[in-house]
Amino acid sequence: MLNTYLQGLAVGLSLIIAIGAQNAFVLKQGLKKQHVFWVCFACALSDSLLILMGVSGFSAVLQHYPQIIQFAQWGGALFLFWYGLQHALQALKAESTMQLSANSESRLMQILLMCMALTWLNPHVYLDTVILLGSISTQFTDKALFAAGAVSASWLFFFTLGYGARVLIPVFENPKAWQFLDGIIAVIMWAIAISLVFDF
């Protein structure tokens, strides 16, 4: 039983640890110390739902209705291009973005909506969590325990990334570091958007 759980944990971590749109967003929110708990919670909860959908057999639905992934493909590409453009513009600014805006509390819903879009409009999320994890889970007698391990990986990773980002805050006291991060995030977003359109 423990082996099944650990394998779910290992597979979950291996799929989630790659740098992507969602992880870059969590990292930046962690550096800004802006609604970190809710961002991590939203990402982990979304991943958990997707994993449970995959293990429960929803992958068969996606295979019969590929339009769902096609919608996420094009919608995600447009969204990621726009999101990358926002970071590119930030990278061109000279001032630091470390300081939180005065209305940061009122922006919680906006931040959560952004987080949801980065998660649910990314077709790679469906391929990794729903289809791939769902397929792997069929190899185990206790699929629920495998799913529990994969779900644990998501909660562990996102909260570690969100709160662990604070270790890097001294580095980002330099506005140039923020410009570099925004530039890197812009490139990542555009690269993912291009891959969705041409290589998907």
Phi-psi group of 99: left, alpha or beta (phi > 0 → left; psi -120 to 50 → alpha; rest → beta): beta
**What residue ranges do the domains of the chain occupy?**
2-198
Count the alpha carbons within 13 Å of 100 in the hemisphere toward its beta carbon. Answer: 16
The pLDDT tens digits for 5-57 are 998 899 888 888 876 788 889 998 999 888 999 999 999 999 999 999 888 87
Q: How much is the pLDDT for 96?
A: 47
The angle formed by the CA atoms of residues 6, 128 and 149, to the nearest 5 degrees, is: 20
Q: List Cβ neighbours of 2 (8 Å cut-off, separation of 6 or more).
A: none
86 pLDDT more than 50: yes
181 pLDDT more than 90: no
Q: How much is the pLDDT for 106?
A: 47
Q: How much is the pLDDT for 93?
A: 74
Distance from C-alpha of 52 to C-alpha of 54, rounded to nearest angstrom: 5
Distance from C-alpha of 127 to C-alpha of 60, rounded to nearest angstrom: 12
102 pLDDT more than 50: no
Mean pLDDT of the 94-103 span = 46
